[in-house]
Structure 1
């Protein structure tokens, strides 16, 4: 590794985040098995405490099965408003201390401390930051310090709960070697099954497969997987910024005052934006609606929302913003919808009240859109003929 720049990358992950937030508001939940998700038996588990995991409960499990495995657990409805608030609290603490931060999801962060060891010592600096997060937010958090994002993320799982690890520079491959291939990010069920049929069950064995063979086996992703198995990952820590956004807008052929049509366009645009969020595996924390009147005056309003990619949540807020915006009774020439404050995450984490059927409905609709385009399936109101 002579000549290779020594990077210092930290992966922070809030422990059982939803459960920890619930315990902040109710200390009686401490040390008890806690399961968060939809109340009905057809709902799914969004999060569960370590105490519940000992009974075999895990995220995305049907609630009916979770109740059977752990009937003594405390079952709670999710509260995305609260989770979003506490996520922002932790984000602000980290950003006040570290110049380069990537908010990977609602509850995990990458920090690039490269070069800071000359002044502070990355190990002690990160340990102090962990203490500060716990002290100021009340939330337990685990981390791993390594030379790249891949190793730091994998090692954080070994640091949990409420722990810390450091993988010394040059020891990345050795650390990964004995781990099961399922621990490697990017190895899903199909890839895992394929590799196991070849007798590859550990990352060490995966690292010994020549790159050309991996390319033949899995294409470009095989090359990337081979490099990861050898502990190599050059992906940068992408600075988090509230300015990242996804938006869609429509300028009409003819200015209109038809409220049914404008409402339909608002629904159509919001659905498209929500689909793009889910396609990119992101959640948003802010939505903006824009109007341009016939005289070219342009107005907009935005609102903070619980982190979500749920059509229903975004549509309700978009309609509320539109009602506040449209106050002139003038012809409208353009309408737009934009979401921002983006973080990584999946739509399902905001569907605490949804049944398995509703979750599958969203997934089925998105599958159709990915194959045939975002207009392939939408609410009927969004299909109103343009005027």
Structure 2
């Protein structure tokens, strides 16, 4: 049976959410992001016509489009809208994967026996827009790669269907940049040898491509040929990342405990970013010397930023640790995960802070997760070192 995989993507999601709250912003060049030292988190199509793009420094964006209006993002608002859309889709679709805060994959294989798959998807997209006011694009095809590329080609408010017979015809003329895993470095490397469109890449021997760019070469060749067997993985709220530490000696040393928690957050946040996760639920766990175990949890806007998560964890720990009794264990857990690459709060943080995160992650990627860490000297006492 031919697979039927849908990719649904909310159009200019952050901008659309802000316009629902402020209708007067409709039709004008709009930038959602930080201040003068911040970056563009999202921008309207009116601003894109001037060359404004996501992750661009705000100063540069304003030089390109001086008339643009800048608004500060509201991750709490965005998370709420995202969850509403997910609920609408999950109510109707048999298998749903929440790929990011504004993207979903649906596996509706076999639904042609009861409904036209394209007609059914079109009706679902219309329902999302009707109930939330958010514009949405989608594409229906035989796998994740083709449907995602097709959604991008159909934006805004597009609704394409690419059958198995049409896959190569659809992909061939497109730039290799359209393949999700092709970044700037890979594009530059391939461009130097004349590979700029997907057809040229697809006709290249897979072994040669693998020798050029390493382990991902074969995967890239498959995607260029429209081959992708990855399943749609259902979104599970209980999926989590966690760590805990049982001490050799029970302690009430608050400075040491805070330092341990900070280290845990840094390690888990790095793992979030490496695996392209965002978390919305933070849990702190403690166990007293008498083995009593307590938890405290809170929900936050989706993030993978160390400083945001550290602040949340320390606040939870302060509320949780109230007895005059030694602790034998502390733990941190991040759950409510969705796929996403918004590594820090692009609405409040500066270009310098974003660069710092990227630099630290590059060092860790190259030399190991413990190659560079924040100094917890303010919290550690000599005996804890």
TM range (shorter): over 0.9
Q: Which sits farther off after the overlay, 176-185 or 48-57?
A: 176-185
TM-fit CA distance, 1:53: 0.3
- Superposed CA offset, 1:221-275 (max 9, x none): 2222222111111111111100111111110111111111112212121222112
Q: In the alignment, which of 225, 245, 251 is matched to residue 230 of structure 1?
A: 225
- After TM superposition, the score normalised by the length of structure 2 is 0.95
Q: Report the counterpart of residue 144 of structure 1 in structure 2.
A: 139
Q: Report the counterpart of residue 294 of structure 1 in structure 2.
A: 289
Q: In the alignment, which of 181, 190, 215 is matched to residue 186 of structure 1?
A: 181
Q: In the alignment, which of 235, 241, 246 is matched to residue 241 of structure 2?
A: 246
TM-fit CA distance, 1:375: 6.5
Query: What is the alpha-carbon distance in structure 2 between the residues aligned to residue 373 and residue 227 of structure 1?
Result: 31
Query: What is the alpha-carbon distance in structure 2 between the residues aligned to residue 56 and residue 226 of structure 1?
Result: 31
Q: In the alignment, which of 235, 259, 271 is matched to residue 264 of structure 1?
A: 259
Q: Which runs of 5+ in 1 are unaligned?
A: none
Q: Which sits farther off after the overlay, 340-349 or 159-168?
A: 340-349
What secondary structure sits across from 1:299 in the alignment? strand
TM-fit CA distance, 1:197: 2.0
Q: Report the counterpart of residue 197 of structure 2 in structure 1.
A: 202
- After TM superposition, the score normalised by the length of structure 1 is 0.95
Q: Which runs of 5+ in 2 are unaligned?
A: none
TM-fit CA distance, 1:212: 2.6
Q: Report the counterpart of residue 373 of structure 2 in structure 1.
A: 377
What secondary structure sits across from 1:75 in the alignment? strand
Query: Do structure 1's residue 214 and structure 2's residue 209 form an aligned pair?
Result: yes
Q: In the alignment, which of 111, 123, 137 is matched to residue 116 of structure 1?
A: 111
- Superposed CA offset, 1:35-73 (max 9, x none): 011112x21111100000011100111111111111111
Q: Report the counterpart of residue 20 of structure 2 in structure 1.
A: 24
Contact 2:255 2:380 in 1 (8 A): no
Query: Do structure 1's residue 310 and structure 2's residue 305 form an aligned pair?
Result: yes
- Superposed CA offset, 1:338-381 (max 9, x none): 10111122244523221111111112222233323336312324
Query: What is the alpha-carbon distance in structure 1 between the residues aligned to residue 351 and residue 214 of structure 2?
Result: 34
Contact 2:7 2:105 in 1 (8 A): yes
Aligned length: 382
Q: In the alignment, which of 54, 57, 65 is matched to residue 59 of structure 1?
A: 54
TM-fit CA distance, 1:217: 2.4
What secondary structure sits across from 1:170 in the alignment? helix
Q: Report the counterpart of residue 11 of structure 2 in structure 1.
A: 15
Contact 2:305 2:344 in 1 (8 A): no
Q: In the alignment, which of 62, 66, 71 is matched to residue 66 of structure 2?
A: 71
